[in-house]
Amino acid sequence: MTRVTGKFQITLPKRLVDLYDIHIGDEVELVTAGESIAIVPARSRQPELSAEERLRLFDETSRWLDACSGSVTYEVEEERGRAREELYTRGGPR
């Protein structure tokens, strides 16, 4: 159990310091996690991407998906005597 000092400081337990390879001078971030507080070593956080970088990655992924959509083929599967296409066209609105 860690105690908060009069200056609102805490000491990290040795086992956690060793486990997460935290050194003197390293920065940690305190993150709210519901009813808890998580201590996250700053180097373990993924760098935040700019809006331009997120849009570039989104466009790149969209182009990749468009290129792949025509090349994906599905074999017709027989399941209980029906072809896959029949499963989507049988019946209708009630």
Please provide the DSSP assignment of 7-42 as one string.
TS-----HHHHHHTT--TT--EEEEEETTEEEEEEG
Flag whether pLDDT at 5 surpasses 90. yes
Amino acid at 59: D
pLDDT at 55 over 70: yes
Q: Is 17 within the bounds of a domain?
A: no
Whether 86 has a pLDDT exceeding 80, the answer reads no
Residue 33 lies in a domain: no
Q: Is residue 40 part of a domain?
A: no
53 neighbors 46 (Cβ within 8 angstroms): no
Residue 38 amino acid letter? A
| Residues written for the chain | 94
pLDDT digits (tens, 9 = 90+) for 23-36: 888 888 888 988 99
Intra-chain end-to-end CA distance of the chain, in Å: 62
Indicate the number of domains in the chain: 1
